[in-house]
Amino acid sequence: MTTCETITPLLDEFIDGTLSLDQQAEVQRHLAGCPDCCSEVVALRDLLGLARVLPRSVPPERNLWDGIAPRLSPVRSRVRGPLQLRALRIAAALGLLLTGAGLASLWYYRISPHDFATQARRYDAASTTLAEALARDAGTLPPATRAVVERNLAIVDAAIREAENALRTDPGNAALEQMLVVRYEQRLALLRRAGATGRES
């Protein structure tokens, strides 16, 4: 025999439809004989009914755009086409040949540890410059070293892709952004080491 004390904690999930079938049946059986719990259910449904008719959109009382527009820094075209992406991938694969120390320094004088957008742009700039440098300095790493660097780059790139994908579904998540920045740093450090090795060999 169920009591109101055992049923009451289930009523929220009952009206949300998230109880198991067994629990749902148990609540329904109790409701059939309990006017007090029935009233609870009706009151909860009324509340959710009110919530459903709240306007989805509420215009702000003042113009907010004036406080936004001055903060929109100009950006170059940010969407990469397939050719650009392919060029960057090739650049990454050839990253072993890179004179990377200078590029990594682009990363290390970043403005603020909390400004993900700035850091992402710096990383992006480093990658673009890298692609240009690669075309000039190809072929300076020993094959065995190159294979090791390629494998490590693939691991870091996979981690970067994973974090970027997660950020696409959860934009602005600070923990993910922090994780991604660490991966960017790892990748640039790897390129820098590879570049230094290439110059020494």
Partner 1 sequence: MNETVRRAQQGDPTAFRVVYETHVGRVYALCLRLCGDRMEAEEHTQDVFVRAWQRLDGFRGESAFSTWLHRLAVNQVLQAQRAAGRRAARVSMADPAELAERAPTPTPAAPSDLEGAIAALPEGARTVFVLHDLEGYQHDEIAELSGIAEGTSKAQLHRARQLLREALNR
| Interface residues toward partner 1, by CB under 8 A | 9, 12-13, 43-44, 47-48, 50-51, 54-62, 64-65, 67-69, 71-79, 117, 164, 167-174
Provide the terminal-to-terminal Cα distance of the chain, rounded to the nearest Å.
82
Q: Which is nearer to partner 1, 55 or 82 (CB)?
A: 55
**Residue 74, amino acid:** P
Give me the least distance between CB of 1 and partner 1, in Å please.
24
Would you put residue 79 in left (φ > 0), alpha (ψ -120 to 50) or beta? beta
For partner 1, the closer CB: 13 or 162: 13
CB of 68 to partner 1, least distance (A): 5
- Are the CB atoms for 103 and 134 separated by under 8 Å? no
Rounded to whole angstroms, the Cα distance separating 17 from 12 reads 9
Nearer Cβ to partner 1 (10/189): 10
Name the residue nearer to partner 1 (CB basis): 35 or 74: 74
Least distance CB 173 / partner 1 (angstroms): 6
Q: Which two tokens stand for residue 136?
A: 């000039």
What sign results for the dihedral spanned by CA atoms 155, 159, 160, 162? positive
If DSSP codes are grouped into helix, strand and coil, which group holds residue 194? helix
Nearest distance from residue 101's CB to partner 1, in Å? Answer: 27
The runs of H, that is alpha helices, within the chain are 4-7, 11-16, 21-32, 35-52, 82-93, 100-108, 116-137, 143-169, 174-200
Shorter beta-carbon distance to partner 1: residue 32 or 79: 79
Give the shortest CB-195-to-partner 1 separation in angstroms. Answer: 27
